[in-house]
Amino acid sequence: MKTMFRALFSAFFQVVAKELQGAFRHGSDILNPVWFFIIVVTLFPLGIGTDPALLERIAPGIIWVAALLAALLSFERLFKDDFIDGSLEQLMLSPFPLAWLVSAKVFAHWLLTGLPLLLVSPLLATFLSLDIDTYIALFLTLLIGTPILSLFGAIGVALTVGLRKGGILLSLIMLPLSIPILIFSTMAIDAASYGQSYIGLLALLGAMLITAIILAPFAIAASLRVSVS
Amino acid sequence: MAFNSLADFFAMGGYGFYVWLSYGISFLVLAVLIINTLTKRKKILKTVTQRIAREERIKKAKNRKDTL
Amino acid sequence: MWKWLHPYAKPEKSYQLAGKLLPWFVVLTVITFIIGLLWGLLFAPADYQQGDSFRIIYIHVPAAMMAMGAYSSMAIAAFVALVWQIRLAEMTVAATAPIGAVFTFIALFTGAAWGKPMWGAWWVWDARLTSELILLFVYLGIIALYNAFSDKVLAGRAASILTLVGVINLPVIHYSVVWWNTLHQGPTISKFGKPSMAVEMLWPLLIMIAAFATLLGALILMRFRNEILTRESHRPWVRQLALNNVKITGKN
C-alpha cells in the first residue's frame, strides 16, 4: 500500500520535473504570456484615460479578462508537443492512471503560467491605482482562480489537440465555461474595494477549485483518449 | 376573442411591431431548421444512390473484356 | 430484464423505431401549435400592465424552457454514451445540439423584442437573458467542436465530453449570473411574469410549452435518423433504403 502511494507520488513529481525542465530549456516561451498580460492591462489606461477613480473601478474586470486571455494563449503548449512527438501515447501506456499523470502536467503548467501572473500582479495593481486591501483580494482570487482556468483549459486543449485549427476553437469552448470564475472573482475584488467581507466568494471559488481538481482530470484523460485514437 | 377587428389584431394594442417581429423571426428560424433537416436527409440518400450507380458502372466496365 | 431493449441498440432498428414515432410527434406538434397559437394570440386577454406585448411570452418561455430541455436530453445522452459506450447516444447528442442552439436563439431574440417596449432597450443585462446568451455560446462551442472533427465517431465522443463538462458548469453559470445581476441591479426590474398568471393566460402557455416540447422531439428524431444514415451509409440496409427512395420519388 505504502509503496504504491510512493510510486504514485514519484510518478507525479517526475512528470512535473520533466515539464519544468522542458520549459526552461525553451526559456523565453515562459515569459510570453506574462508579457501579454502586462501589455493588455497597459492598453486600458491608454484607451480610456488615466483617472485613478475610473481605473480603480474597472481594474478587477480588466485584470481578470487579461488573465483569461493570457491563460488561453499559453494553453496550446500544454499537450501539443507531446501529441506531435508521441509522448502522449507513451503517457497512456504507463501503468499509472492517465488522470493522475495529466493532473501533474496541469500542475506544472500552472506553475509556469499561473504563478508568473501572480508574481507580476503587484506591478499591475500600481498601474491601476489599487489600494492594498483591494490588491490582497485580487491576489487571492488569482491564486484560487488561475488553477481552475488551467484545469478548464486543459479539458479544452485535450479535446482540440488533434485538430489542425484547434486554437480559436479552444477559446470558443473555454471562455463561456470560465464566466463564473470571472464573476465571482471580480465580485470579491469589488467587495474588498468597498471594505466589505468577501470570504464567502473566496469559499465559492475554493469549492469550484476543489470540484475541478477532482473531476477535471477524468474529463482531460477521456478527451485525450478521443484525440489520440 | 380579445380583439374587435382584424386591424386591432394586427395592431396588438400598439405593440404590433414587436409581437409580429418575435413571432415572424421565431417561425422563420424554425422553418430554416426544419428545411435544413429535410434536405440533409435527401442529400444523404442521393449520395448513397450515386455511389451505388458508380459502383455498378465500374463493375460493368470490368466485365466488358473486349476493351483494350 | 432489459433484453427487449437490445435490438434497439442496432442502428437499423433504432432508425425504424424513430421512423414509427416520428408521425405521432409531427401530428401532435401541428395540433398543439395551432391550438396554442390561436388561443394565445386571439383569445387570451391582454395583460393589464403590459398590454398585448405579453403575447410574446407564448414563444419566449416555451423556447427558453425547451432550450434547457434540449440540453438536459443531450446531457443524459452524453452520460449514456460515455458510460456504456453506446454510439447511438453519441448520435443523439450531435443531433440535438443545433436544435438547442436554435431554440436558445429564439428565446434570446424574443426576449430582446419583448424588452424593447418594456424596458426601452433591445438589450438589458437581465439575468435570464444573460444566462440564455451564455447557453447559446455553450451550444455553439459544442457544435463547432463536433464539426471540427472529420471522423464523426470521434466527433460524437468529443461533443459528449464537452456536453457533460457543460452540464456541471451551467448551474454555476446560472447562479453566478443571477447573483451578479442582483448586485449590478440597474433599472431592470424583471417584468417577465412570475407564476401569478391568470388561468386564461396560463392554459395557452402550457399548450405552447407542449408544442415546443413535441417539436423538439420530432426534430431530434429527424436529425437522429440523419445521423444514423450518414454513419451507416455503406451498410446494405441504407443502400436498399436509398434505392427504394429513388423508386418512390421517381427521379435520379
For the cut 50, the answer to whether the pLDDT of residue A38 exceeds it is: yes
Ranking A76-85, A201-210, C56-65 by mean pLDDT, the lowest is A76-85
Domain ranges of chain B: 36-63
| Phi, psi dihedrals of residue A163, rounded to the nearest 5° | -95, 150
- What's the pLDDT at A72? 86
More confident residue, A92 or A223: A223
Residue C176 to residue A160, Cβ atoms within 8 A: no
pLDDT digits (tens, 9 = 90+) for A69-96: 988 888 877 887 778 888 888 888 888 8
Residue C188: per-residue pLDDT = 41
Q: What percent of chain B has pLDDT over 90?
A: 34
- pLDDT the model gives residue C125: 83
Q: Which amino acid is at C118?
A: M
Domain count, chain A: 1
Given a cut of 70, is residue C161 above it in pLDDT? yes
pLDDT of residue C191: 45
Cα–Cα dist C218/C22, whole Å: 6
Tell me if C98 and B33 make a contact (CB, 8 A cut-off).
yes
Q: Model confidence over A109-154: pLDDT tens digits?
A: 898 888 888 999 888 888 888 888 889 999 999 999 999 999 999 9
Cβ pair C219, B33 in contact under 8 A: yes
Question: What tens digit of pLDDT does each residue of B19-67 get?
Answer: 899 999 999 999 999 999 999 999 998 888 888 888 888 888 888 766 6
Q: Nearest Cα to C211, choosing from C67, C30, C6, C84?
A: C30
User: What is chain A written as a DSSP string?
Assistant: -HHHHHHHHHHHHHHHHHHHHHHHHHGGGGHHHHHHHHHHHHHHHHHH---HHHHHHHHHHHHHHHHHHHHHHHHTHHHHHHHHHTHHHHHHHSSS-HHHHHHHHHHHHHHHHHHHHHHHHHHHHHHTT--HHHHHHHHHHHHHHHHHHHHHHHHHHHHHTTSTTHHHHHHHHHHHHTHHHHHHHHHHHHHHHTT---HHHHHHHHHHHHHHHHHHHHHHHHHHHHHH-
Per-residue pLDDT at C5: 61
Q: How confident is the model at residue C186 (pLDDT cuts 50, 70, 90)?
A: very low
Q: Is the pLDDT of residue C210 over 90?
A: yes
Inter-chain CB proximity C242 and B45 less than 8 Å: yes
pLDDT tens readout for residues C86-145: 888 989 999 999 999 999 999 999 999 888 888 888 888 888 888 889 999 999 999 999
Phi, psi values for residue B55, rounded to 5°: -60, -40
The C-alpha cell 440496409 sits at C237
Model pLDDT, residue C252: 44
Residue B49 in contact with partner chain C when CB distance is under 8 A? yes
What is the residue-averaged pLDDT of chain C? 85
Neighbors of chain B by Cβ distance (3+ pairs < 8 Å): C
SS3 C51: strand
Domain assignment present for A211: yes
Calculate what percentage of chain C has a pLDDT beyond 90: 41
Under the banding of pLDDT at 50, 70 and 90, the label for residue C184 is low
**Cα dihedral value A182, A187, A192, A193, nearest 10:** 100
Q: Which chain B residue has the Cα nearest residue C218?
A: B34
Q: Does C167 touch chain A (CB under 8 A)?
A: no
By the CB < 8 Å criterion, does C193 face chain A?
A: no
> pLDDT tier at C190 (50, 70, 90 boundaries)?
very low
In the predicted model, what is the mean pLDDT of chain A?
A: 86
The amino acid that residue C89 corresponds to is A
Residues in C closer than 8 angstroms to B25, CB to CB, are: 106, 109-110, 113
Confirm or reject contact between B38 and chain C (CB < 8 A). yes
Domain boundaries, chain C: 15-249
Percentage, residues of chain A above pLDDT 70? 99
> Is-contact A33 A77, C-beta < 8 A?
no
Tell me the residue range of the domain where A155 lies. Answer: 26-228
Contacting residues of A for C83, CB less than 8 Å apart: none
- Scored b (16 or more CB within 10 A) or e, C121-143 reads eeebebbbbbbbbbbbbbbbbbb
> Is pLDDT of C83 > 80?
yes
User: Per the CB < 8 Å rule, is C158 touching A226?
Assistant: yes
Give the pLDDT of residue C133: 92
> Using the 8-state DSSP alphabet, how is residue C233 labeled?
T
- Only one residue has cell 470560465, namely A178
Which member of A159, A165, A184 has the closest CB to residue C162? A159
ipTM (interface predicted TM): 0.87
Q: Going by beta carbons, is chain B in contact with chain C, meaning 3 or more pairs sit under 8 Å apart?
A: yes
pLDDT at site A155: 92
Which of the residue ranges C68-82, C148-162, C183-197 would you say has the lowest mean pLDDT?
A: C183-197
Per-residue cell: A54: 475610473
Q: Tell me the mean pLDDT in the region A50-78.
A: 85
Q: Assess B58–C contact: CB distance below 8 Å, yes or no.
A: no
